[in-house]
Amino acid sequence: MQAGGSTLTAQEFVEEVVRTRPRIAVFDCDGTLWQGDSGMGFFYWELARNYVSPEVERAIRARYDGYLAGKVDELSICGEMIQINQGVPEQRLREAAREFFAAEVRERIFPEMQELTRRLASDGCELWAVSSTNNWVVEAGAAEFGIRPERCLAATLEVRDGIVTSKLLKVPTDELKQTAIEEFIGRRVDAVFGNSMHDFAMLEQAARPYAINPNPDLAEKAAELGWTTYFPLQNRK
């Protein structure tokens, strides 16, 4: 859908964005480039494969249950979900993330978003991904859209001598997504694509914001502000 209620097909949506000729475009990942929460998915995927000790698993499951119950905030849980990997070789996590993405997420990619990023890149647009999911999964997924690893701003831990530490370098969520854009991109972004209120701060600062498959609260704000809204799920067969 577009502001005003007219329906956009997948091709119409892609053409509408391409016509604006953005020079810098930023994409949220989960729910925007693909369906579902890959951060949560990778978290449970790791636990099912005994990547962490039973003691760590019990503790983090309790914390995640607290998050689902509204007792743990978004910023804290996004950091803690990756800190369980401290002491693990980074290469092992990158390999695990690629395996996870191929097995669990790739089939849920929104093809029109892949087409859009391809078209934008061919026009010389600089593509970035901003997500509170861990950088290993985000970089694996963003590669499917032609977004380079150094342009992925995601939840990241410090790595020393190839080993992941518990030190958080960044967790871009809510207003911190816009903070990451200001710190690492440092220029006004022409187009931002997001699906939830966690993306609102960066959407609000974009020259052209796009609400993709938005949650009800973001859909309401997008309608109020006249933003373009598009629902890729309605175009899936």
* 87 inside domain: yes
**What is the pLDDT averaged over residues 65-75?**
95
Q: Where are the alpha helices (DSSP H) in the chain?
A: 10-19, 38-48, 54-68, 74-83, 90-100, 111-122, 135-142, 175-180, 200-205, 216-225
Q: Give Cα 127 to chain centroid, integer Å.
A: 13
Asked if residue 6 has pLDDT above 50, the reply is: no
pTM: 0.93
* 2 inside domain: no
Residue 209, C-beta contacts closer than 8 angstroms, at least 6 positions apart: 191, 192, 194, 203, 222, 225, 227, 228
* 79 inside domain: yes
CB 223 within 8 A of CB 230: no
Residue 236's pLDDT band, with cuts at 50, 70 and 90, is low
* 4 inside domain: no
Asked if residue 5 has pLDDT above 60, the reply is: no
Residue 235 is predicted with a pLDDT of 60
Structural domains counted in the chain: 1
* 81 inside domain: yes
Q: Where are the alpha helices (DSSP H) in 89-215?
A: 90-100, 111-122, 135-142, 175-180, 200-205
The alpha carbon torsion through 149, 155, 157, 162 (nearest 10 deg) reads -30
Whole-number Å distance between alpha carbons of 154 and 133:
6
User: What average pLDDT does the structure give for the chain?
Assistant: 94
- Torsions phi, psi for 72 (to 5 deg): -125, 135
* 104 inside domain: yes
Asked if residue 221 has pLDDT above 90, the reply is: yes
* 122 inside domain: yes
Percent of all residues in the chain with a pLDDT value above 90, rounded to a whole number: 95
Residue 112, C-beta contacts closer than 8 angstroms, at least 6 positions apart: 10, 11, 13, 14, 232, 235
**What is the pLDDT averaged over residues 186-192?**
96
Residue 228: beta bridge partners? 210
What is the span of the domain harbouring residue 94?
10-235
* 1 inside domain: no
CATH code of the domain covering residue 155: 3.40.50.1000
Whole-number Å distance between alpha carbons of 170 and 155:
5
Please state the length of the chain.
237
What is the residue type of 221? Answer: K
